[in-house]
Amino acid sequence: MHIVKQLMAIPGVIAAGEYAYRGDRFSYQGELSDEFARMASILCRANTLTVNLQSEIIDASAENCGCRPVQGWIMRGAQVTLCAVGNYFAFIETRDELLNDVMTIMRAKVGDVHEDLLVSLYARLGGDTNEPLY
Amino acid sequence: MNLDKMMEVPGAMAAFTYTDKGELQSHQLREGTELTLQVLDMLARSCVANLAIAGMEARGWEALTGQAGFQPLEGFSLIGLEWSVVANGTCGMVVRNRDADYEAAFDAVQSA
Amino acid sequence: MSLKKILVLDGVTAVCRFGDDGGVIEAEGLLSQEWMDHLAKYAQWYRRVVSSNTDLLSLFSQMPGWVPSRGWIVKGAATTVCGVGNVVCLVDNAEGSLNQLMQALGKAAHE
């Protein structure tokens, strides 16, 4: 089963999808409008780039310390949590026994993310990169 | 800040606290871990940066979409290849991905 | 503008043009090859992260003028590193003029 469908089948998952380089290519399912999904995509890209930069810096000071390549990140809010693994994201409710299930499925289904994640994100670059994002 | 409590979380390899500028204040390392003080020092700074950006995103997202839910922010986690960092406020911890219990880790940094 | 013209500006100790993969295209200055490689790589990362952050600012502020991002400056106690487009340079704070330098980097980046 496709990972997004599988995530959406879990009670408490609000929306899930894939994001790309600039937020102009994305796909999703669930309770998000197109505009909100585009915003989520931009936000996911920002966090993914940031954590990748940090992992390079940490790795430069302690080689093979286990943080590279970055697999993803979690942003936990009071009622909503946003998780990303590779170029997949999921909005889920913040409640007991959901985050671990979602992360287990995302890690297992997406598989280990390799160093080429950003290359592949960049390869999907399309449209006008100078377009205003508002 | 209760480092002992954070170290009780399944898979915990390190627990630490830092100032709001990201300077490492206190830490505990699991015996035998390959993590070093130097790595924790870097991680503390990355925790501050990530929580600040996540806070800005939470605020911006809620203002623009009109949807509540992210604020107050309860933490941010960076998931590395072998371990993850979970942080909130001025506390952070490193958990081994193999046995990671993210919920317990977020709860621990919440109440620590 | 050639990188040599940037290197002769007051306070500049190293300048480098890098590719989309973070590799050095050309470099001038006092850094070793190894450190020039590091500088190029981090400059490319910084460029990406700053571009992401300006995307967020653009999105959340609903204001024009943020994107596409042009550059960044990190000012340290004695040294500053700044990048515009795909050119990055190191400058000694005591001797350099940041305004003059950013202008020159802007010209070099658009070549």
Q: Tens of pLDDT along C60-107?
A: 888 788 888 889 999 999 999 999 999 999 999 999 899 999 999 999
Q: Is A6 helix (H, G, I), strand (E, B) or coil?
A: helix
pLDDT for position C10: 96
pLDDT score of C37: 94
Task: Pick A20 or B14 by higher pLDDT.
Answer: B14
Model confidence over A66-95: pLDDT tens digits?
888 899 999 999 999 999 999 899 999 999
Give the pair of three-digit tokens for residue B77: 């986690």
Kindly tell me if the per-residue pLDDT of A120 is higher than 80: no
Is any Cβ of chain B less than 8 angstroms from the Cβ of C8? no
- Examine the pLDDT at A26 and tell me if it is beyond 90: no
| Residue A124 confidence (pLDDT) | 47
Yes or no, beta carbons of B64 and C53 under 8 Å apart: no
For residue B69, give the nearest of C26, A36, A104 by alpha carbon: A36
Question: What integer is the mean pLDDT of C3-32?
Answer: 94
Q: Which of C56, C63, C74 to mutate to test the interface with B (most CBs of B within 10 A)?
A: C56
Subunits that touch chain A (at least 3 Cβ pairs < 8 angstroms)? B, C
**pLDDT for residue A21:** 61
What's the pLDDT at A122? 57
Long-range CB contacts (within 8 A, 24+) of B85-91: B85/B43, B85/B46, B85/B47, B86/A74, B87/B47, B87/B50, B87/B51, B88/A76, B88/B51, B89/B51, B90/B1, B90/B17, B90/B18, B90/B19, B90/B20, B90/B25, B91/B1, B91/B6, B91/B15, B91/B16, B91/B17
Q: Which residue of C has its CA nearest to A57?
A: C42
What pTM value is reported for the model?
Answer: 0.87
- pLDDT value of position B75: 95
pLDDT category, A126, cuts 50, 70, 90?
A: very low
Judge: C61–A57 Cβ closer than 8 Å, yes or no. Answer: no
Mean pLDDT for all residues in chain A: 84
Q: Does C62 touch chain B (CB under 8 A)?
A: yes
Asked whether the ipTM of the predicted complex exceeds the cut of 0.90, the reply is no
B103/A77 CB distance under 8 A: no
The predicted pLDDT at position C51 comes to 85
Query: Which residues numbered 40-99 in B keep a CB inside 8 Å of some CB on A?
Result: 42-43, 46, 49-50, 53-54, 57-58, 61, 64-65, 67-83, 86, 88, 97
Q: Residue A127: which pLDDT band, with cuts at 50, 70 and 90?
A: very low
Q: Does any CB of chain B come closer than 8 Å to the CB of residue C63?
A: no
pLDDT in tens, C29-63: 989 999 999 999 889 888 888 888 888 888 888 87
CA distance A96 to chain B (A): 7
> In terms of CA atoms, which chain C residue is nearest residue B58?
C60
| Cα nearest neighbour of A119 on chain C | C21
In whole angstroms, what is the distance from residue B59 CA to residue B71 CA?
A: 7
What pLDDT does A125 receive? 41
Longest dimension (CA), chain C: 43
Residues in chain A within 8 Å Cβ distance of B37: none
Give me the pLDDT at residue A119, please: 62
Interchain pair A77, B71: CB under 8 A: yes
pLDDT at A22: 58
pLDDT at A1: 63
**Could you say which residues of chain B have pLDDT below 50?**
none
